[in-house]
Structure 1
Amino acid sequence: MTTISLFGLQTFLRQVVALNFPEALWVRCEIAQLNKSRGHVYLDLVEKDEAENEPIAQASAAIWQNTLKRLQSKLGATNLNPLLQAGVEVLLRVKVEYHERYGLKLVVEDIDPSYTLGKLEQRRRQLYEQLLAQGLMGKNAQIPLRPVLQRIAVISSETAAGYQDFLQHLGENVYGYAFKTTFFAAAVQGVQVEAEVLKQLRVVQRQASRFDAVALIRGGGAKLDLAGFDSLALCQAIADFPLPIFTGIGHDVDETLVDLVAHRALKTPTAVADFLIQHNLNFEGQLAELSQYLRYAASENLHEAQLQLLSNVQSLQSAPSLLLARQKDQLQRIAAELPLTLRYQQREQWQKIEQMEQICQLLSIEGTLQRGFSITLREGKPLSSANLIQPGDVLDTQFKDGTVRSKV
């Protein structure tokens, strides 16, 4: 039975690694954890299964102090630091080393920032398509702004320079507008951005009636610093938020996904402050225009009323004489027409009298006898029926030219 010591085995493995990996390699991986100690950076690297997002490989790596200084000089600290964050996918040039006591370790010699930026852009495009599919673009922008925006919930980092600039800009506005800001602390870069900003949005939402709007702000920084704002969960929360959200994340060229779903995306925190001031100034201008219009309208109405009053006074002054003149004219017309009217009415009455006389003559006994009728009398009284006559009665029958007596 062949045996070997542990040291011998580890030495053999070191030789195998040295023979098979004589040159440094470019390795794609994700930084799972990062620690700094005595100028060195120690990394836990992983590769995850795309389907289940579970680690399928893991290794330890180190960036020695001299290499870290060289990378900072080459890339600049503002560009390098965002790369060295947990959760960031990186492309590292590593030298594979095996130590008898400490085992396998990858020593980082270089880092390619373009790979990380490319992965972030690819992920960003995928999330952008999801936002479009879910109809979240422009949703928060549909919330109508209140005429005056004074009560502002500010989500930012207390140490962010942009936050102080924002407060100073609001406080020193030349119009003397008063703003009430309430601060809600959250990380504005790194892997904690999504969780902390979401937490503070929920806090603000529970007391939404206290605020007119939300300002999500941070200072300037490298492009990789903005990766935390390309978050689907954060975009969904902002799109559905009951208050308008203004972003001032501090970049001039690139837009994050949060900018695309916010009510208004502004370049910097001071630009957010300028927007709030200008919005209130516009409202004050509208009030001034309305006040001017009301003064003009009141003046016009007063002028018209004065003219109407003057006209009424003149009318009242001239009304009695005009009325008297009209009454005098009417009396003169009546006086002129009265004789003619009386003669006409007198003629009509005479005609009616003559007609009545003719009717009376026609209806009189003489008129009746003249028309060929006769009247039978008994004892001087006219008889209207034959049934009234008895035998032996003496009757007088009167004609137009005489009377005949007879006995029944």
Structure 2
Amino acid sequence: MTHYSLYDLNEHIRRVLALNFQQPVWIAAEIAQLGQSRGHLYLDLVQKGEGDELIAQAQAVLWAGDLRKMRARLASDLDAVLREGQEVKMQITVDFHERYGLKLVIADLDPAYTFGQLELKRRQTIETLRGLDLLERNRRQPLPKVLQRIAVISSENAAGFRDFQEHLTQNAFGYGFSCRLFASSVQGKNAEAELLEALQTIDTTRFDCIVIVRGGGARLDLSAFDGLELCKRVAQMPLPVFTGIGHDVDETVLDLVAHAALKTPTAVADFLLQHNLSFENELLQLAARLRSAGDQQLKISQLELQQAEQALRWNAGAQLRASFERVDRIAEALPQIVRARLRGQAQKLEAAEAVCLALHPENVLKRGYSMTYKDGKPLMDASEVASGDLLETVLLKGTVLSKSVGRKRNAARDPRDGKDDRS
């Protein structure tokens, strides 16, 4: 049976590849891993299926000389394209070595392809968020009257964070702020995961708002802010989220779902200052309205008091005049009243005097009556007299002494006339 040596096989493969890939070809792949040695870049390229499973893999190299040429032509876009997890389109030559195997040598890059893929992913993320009704959710969060306790997500070494903090704390209004940094990468392959972790760390009950800031950078540096999970989380935060990720032209998906998107970190600081200034102006206007209303009410009260004082004076004078008139009328009528009262009392006195005179013992005696005494006391009842008692009878003229010989019943009490009751 005929067989090949390993070298013969590999040499045959090299000739076949050289024959079929005489010119460079363009391929699209994802950078799974990226390394550098002696100025050369070494890449592990992969392609994934619909289920995110690995269906193809190859190694590629970008020689130092070609790398310098590309950097001169593409500038910052080169670093933005050549990063792990990025989908890239590259022109390669197929190289196969009998000992070292297959290697793809990168001759050129097409950043526009990467930008297009990111834009496609960005649009898909936006449509997903729209379907979940999350694009406007954080924007509907009510803003506190004062934004003072601020959770800041940024890289602690980022110039944008320093600009934000200095602009906010060194304000001309004398406003005080409490800012706490939740450190996170704001670019690179780990940025989205670290941003999510920072959001989950924030105790939302202790802050008024969340601010995400970073400095400037290449367009592809913003790709972390287009991540679906990050944008979903920001949209669902119970606090208003403000972004200032340092790019004047491009708008990230995170900007779309945030409560407000500002261009730079200092613009975010200005927004917070203006918000608090608006509240202070409202308070000043309210205080002015209160003072004006107070002054107006004071004037009204003073006028009412003056009117009440005038009315009181007039009423007091009128009542005093009425009282004087009443006193005058009483004074005029008093003599007549007194005379009438005296006449009435005199008549009553005369009548009483007449009764007294009629009942005077002397007048009674004048009418033929007499008064009988026993032991110096007036005698009222015949039953008190015993036979032989000494009695004294007073007449109009003189007194008669007598001795009782018996009693005679009163005709009103005993109809037996003429009968004596002698003891």
TM class, shorter-chain normalised?
0.7 to 0.9
Which residue of structure 2 lines up, in the alignment, with residue 119 of structure 1? 117
Match of 1:94?
92
Tell me: CA distance 1:326–1:137, structure 2 relative to 1, closer, same or farther (3 Å).
farther
C-alpha deviation, 1:54, in angstroms: 1.2
SS in 1 for 2:108: strand
- The structure-2 alpha-carbon separation of the partners of 1:100 and 1:302, relative to structure 1 and needing over 3 Å to count, comes to same
1:79 corresponds to 2:82: no
Q: What residue in structure 2 maps to residue 64 of structure 1?
A: 63
After TM superposition, list the pairs within 5 Å mapping 1:250-399 onto structure 2: 250-324=246-320
Is 2:221 the partner of 1:221? no
What letter is aligned with 1:156?
S
Q: Distance in 1 between matches of 2:53 and 2:124?
A: 20
Deviation of 1:294 (Å): 1.4
Which aligned pairs between 1:139-218 and structure 2 lie closer than 5 A?
Answer: 139-204=137-202, 207-218=203-214
CA distance in 2, matches of 1:296, 1:154: 41
Measure the CA separation in 2 of the matches of 1:273 and 1:187: 20
Q: Are residue 137 (structure 1) and residue 135 (structure 2) matched? A: yes
CA–CA distance in 2 between the matches of 1:323 and 1:201?
81
Q: What is the distance in 1 between the residues matched to 2:56 and 2:326?
A: 121
Q: What is the CA-CA distance between 1:95 and the residue it aligns to?
A: 0.8
**How many residue pairs were aligned?**
330
Residue identity opposite 1:202 in structure 2: Q
1:191 deviation in Å? 2.0
Distance 1:57 1:74 in 2: 30
Q: Take 2:163 and 2:17, find their aligned partners in 1: how far apart are those partners?
A: 54
Q: Which amino acid aligns with 2:210?
A: V
Quote the offset at 1:315 in angstroms: 1.8
Query: Residue type of the partner of 2:126?
Result: Y
Amino acid at match of 1:180: S
User: Who is 2:348 aligned against?
Assistant: none
Q: Which amino acid aligns with 1:11?
A: E
- Amino acid in the other structure paired with 1:112: D
Aligned to 1:246: 242
Would you say 1:29 and 2:29 are equivalent positions?
yes
- 2:230 is matched with 234
> C-alpha distance in 1, partners of 2:172/2:157?
26
- Equivalent-residue separation in structure 2 for 1:265 and 1:304 (angstroms): 50
**C-alpha deviation, 1:332, in angstroms:** 11
Structure 1 position 328, deviation (Å): 8.0
The letter of the residue matching 1:288 is: L
CA deviation profile, 1:156-207 (whole Å, cap 9, x unmatched): 1122221111111112111121111111111111221221111110000xx2
Rounded to whole Å, the distance in 1 between the matches of 2:325 and 2:265 is 87
1:326 CA displacement: 6.0
Deviation at 1:118, TM superposition (A): 1.0
The letter for the 2-side match of 1:166 is: F
CA-to-partner distance for each residue in 1:338-360, whole Å, 9 max, x for gaps?
A: xxxxxxxxxxxxxxxxxxxxxxx
Deviation track 1:217-254 (CA, whole Å, cap 9, x = no partner) reads 11111211111111111111111111111011111222
Displacement of 1:12 in angstroms is 2.4
Structure 2 residues without counterparts, runs of 5 or longer: 330-423
**Alpha-carbon distance in structure 1 between the residues aligned to 2:118 and 2:215:** 21
Larger-gyration structure (1/2):
2
Counterpart-to-counterpart distance in 1, 2:29 and 2:84? 11
Q: Distance in 2 between matches of 1:211 and 1:18?
A: 64
1:52 paired residue number: 51
Q: TM-score, normalised by structure 2?
A: 0.75
- C-alpha distance in structure 1 between counterparts of 2:134 and 2:210, whole Å: 18
Structure 2 CA distance for aligned equivalents of residues 329 and 140 of structure 1: 83
User: Separation in 2 of the partners of 1:62 and 1:75?
Assistant: 18
Structure 1 letter corresponding to 2:89? L
Q: Normalising by the residue count of structure 1, what TM-score does the alignment of the two structures yield?
A: 0.77
Q: 1:20 deviation in Å?
A: 1.6
Q: CA deviation at 1:111?
A: 0.4
Q: Secondary structure at the match of 1:4?
A: coil
Structure 2 SS opposite 1:320: helix
| One-letter amino acid matched to 1:53 | D
Give distance in 1, aligned partners of 2:295 and 2:316: 33
The aligned residue for residue 338 of structure 1 is none
CA distance in 2, matches of 1:329, 1:259: 90
Query: What's the Cα RMSD here?
Result: 2.0
**Letter aligned with residue 73 of structure 1:** A
Match of 1:220, SS?
Answer: coil
